[in-house]
Amino acid sequence: QVQLKESGPGLVQPSETLSLTCTVSGFSLTSYSVSWVRQPSGKGPEWMGRMWYDGDTAYNSALKSRLSISRDTSKNQVFLKMNSLQTDDTGTYYCTRDLAYSGGGPYYYVMDAWGQGASVTVSS
Amino acid sequence: DIQMTQSPASLSASLGETVSIECLASEGISNSLAWYQQKPGKSPQLLIYGASSLQDGVPSRFSGSGSGTQYSLKISGMQPEDEGVYYCQQGYKYYTFGAGTKLELK
């Protein structure tokens, strides 16, 4: 059974750094990529970045200067760190499993499993 | 970045009514289009991927179609459990989501 679970502080001070952990089970981080997605209340989701199955990373260009994603495969964990937080970074943060699929051509990715989400409030 | 424009922003449907939601990409995305359903307080759930492939366990009343830059989600026979917010998402260049369509039962 594929599961992902986010954990981390619910409240972060402005200008501080957010640290979140995604703990996965039911699949291997060396076989599947994991993305981080955030969603402000009442708005659509925003992809933040991806930890590829081979250890490489990719970031949303809008967040790249503030964001770092890493992993510990021995613990089945993926980590997110984002610095210089502001109030508009408030929202729910999800980690997702990225499933590759192909219609006979290039491979594309889709988020086939999501964690329950971690609510983050940026406030003093 | 690829932009996804979703319409309508909200709609209300009667029980058994057929519903359609549209999604327009700012450039061609080669059918790398997914649809998700999100219920209040829950994480999004994958319904459709590859523009028309039904995710395992999703009722067959859900279907997807489209090509190039234009895609749509159809629900053939609205059910109470279909209430929620629906998002389209492109997977051609990483991910971008639409703003969502809120679907309610009339």
Query: Above 90 in pLDDT, residue A14?
Result: yes
Query: pLDDT band at A106, cuts 50/70/90?
Result: confident
Nearest to B98 by CA among A121, A27, A44: A44
Tens of pLDDT along B57-105?
Answer: 999 999 999 999 999 999 999 999 999 999 999 999 999 999 999 999 9
Distance separating alpha carbons of residues A104 and A63, to the nearest angstrom: 33
Residues of B in contact with A108 (CB under 8 A): 30, 32, 50, 91-92
Residues A103, B95: C-beta atoms closer than 8 Å = no
Q: Which residue's structure tokens are 């990719």?
A: A58
- For residue A40, whether the previous peptide bond is cis, meaning omega lies within 30 degrees of 0, is no
Q: For residue A64, what pLDDT is reported?
A: 96
Query: Above 90 in pLDDT, residue A103?
Result: no
Average pLDDT value for residue range A26-44: 97
CA distances, A51 to each of A20, A85, B50 (Å): 14, 21, 22
Q: For residue A105, what pLDDT is reported?
A: 81
User: In the structure encoding, which two tokens stand for residue B68, read together?
Assistant: 């190039």
Query: How far does the CA of residue B51 sit from the closest CA of chain A (Å)?
Result: 10
How would you class B53 by CB atoms within 10 Å of its CB: exposed for 0-12, middle for 13-18, buried for 19 or more?
middle
User: B37, B94, B96: best mutation site toward chain A, by most A Cβ within 10 Å?
Assistant: B94
Classify residue A1 by its DSSP letter.
-
Distance separating alpha carbons of residues A53 and A47, to the nearest angstrom: 17
Residues of A in contact with B34 (CB under 8 A): 110-111
